[in-house]
Homo-oligomer: A and B are copies of this chain.
Amino acid sequence: MKPVTLKQIAETLNMSVSTVSKALKDYPDVSKKTKRLVKETVDLLNYKPNAFAVNLRTKESKTIGLIIPEVVHHFFSSVIKGIIARAEKKGYLVIILQSNESYELEKKQIDLLLSKRVDGILISLANGTGNFKHLNDLISQDLPLVMFDKIAKIVNCSKVIINDRKAAYTATQHLIDTGCKRIAHFRGPLLPQNSIDRFLGYKKALTDNGLPYDPSLVYICECGDNSFEEGKESARKLLNDHTDVDGIFINTDMVAIGAITEFNKLGIKIPEDISVVGFSNWFMSSVISPTLTTINQPGYEMGKEAFKLLYKEIKNRKQNSPIKLKTIELETKLIKRGSTKN
């Protein structure tokens, strides 16, 4: 059974296509009786208006694109959930693409979404993205764009972020407050703005507390992702390089969990020998041993806010209202658990 067309409905009712179409759109020059008849027939035959034809008329696809670095990821899947929850309420569908942390892929996906005429794009940048021409091109084409979490400060669009620097400062301060004197940092890959900001927050907390900053205590993730294996490897390297480290601030929970697993295996006691603070508050962090002290990063809320900003921009452009770009900063919170001292 092929989908029912407007023409078939018109034939069934012995009316013109234009009358049926007008009845469906609730035009005043069609009688109530006709409207009721059309409505009943439409329900009976399970007629769905052709989305393409509607789209050609209104020039809206009612679809937005979402590009994220990684789907199998507690934080990003929480963001996705927030976005689609909010989008569905407003009648928008979400096309999700995964950049695998690759700049090249991210660029191609932007093109793909453009060719699909999405009404707007939400993006969290790949770790490999250091050039923003593909995003500036979008903006110059008046396509609504909102960045979240992994953003580029110099791209002129709305953003939803947390204050990474402040949160990292809080995390490091907590290590200092609980007695750590020699604090290392696993900073993740080099490029993303949030890695940079978390590193700067760590450094500032040290100097504000009169502790020397020692670059040899900062471990950069060379593989480009923030993985469990990376955490294990950095933990081994750290033990090899230094004997006096008593605390680590790690820029993602997944890496912290890798480090804890390695320390557990090697008999290093957490927090007695080394205290650990993570970042993001993945669910997993509350069930490992010891449980992980971390910074809560509100993924679901970030997704919701990002969609809300995008929706507003889509609406304003449609109505030719002025566009006000906005950066929303969401609150983070230190969650104290077993991997740091009381």
Chain A residues close to B by CB (< 8 Å): 1-3, 46, 48-53, 55-56, 61, 63, 71-74, 77-78, 80-81, 84-85, 88, 93-98, 111-117, 137, 140-142, 228, 257, 261, 264, 283-284, 287-289
A48: chain B residues at CB < 8 Å are: 111, 114-115, 117
Interface-centre pick from A52, A78, A117 (highest chain B CB count, 10 A): A52
A97 to B51, CA, bound (A): 18
User: Which partner residue on chain B sits nearest A87 by CB separation?
Assistant: B97
Known: A2-B141, A287-B288, A289-B288. A96 touches B84 (CB 8 A): yes
User: Which partner residue on chain B sits nearest A137 by CB separation?
Assistant: B46
User: Which partner residue on chain B sits nearest A56 by CB separation?
Assistant: B52
**Shortest distance between the CB of A83 and any CB in chain B (Å):** 10
Query: Within the complex, which residue of B61, B111, B287 is in contact with A257, where a contact is CB–CB below 8 Å?
Result: B287
A96: chain B residues at CB < 8 Å are: 80, 84, 94-96
The 4 tightest CB contacts between A and B, nearest first, are A289-B289, A48-B115, A72-B77, A93-B95
A329 to B54, CA, bound (A): 40
User: Which partner residue on chain B sits nearest A85 by CB separation?
Assistant: B98
Query: Within the complex, which residue of B3, B73, B284 is in contact with A141, where a contact is CB–CB below 8 Å?
Result: B3
Query: Within the complex, which residue of B93, B142, B288 is in contact with A2, where a contact is CB–CB below 8 Å?
Result: B142
A3 to B137, CA, bound (A): 11
A117 to B55, CA, bound (A): 12
B72 touches A74 (CB 8 A): yes
Interface-centre pick from A71, A81, A289 (highest chain B CB count, 10 A): A71
A51 to B141, CA, bound (A): 16
User: Which partner residue on chain B sits nearest A61 by CB separation?
Assistant: B52
Query: Within the complex, which residue of B3, B51, B98, B289 is in contact with A116, where a contact is CB–CB below 8 Å?
Result: B51
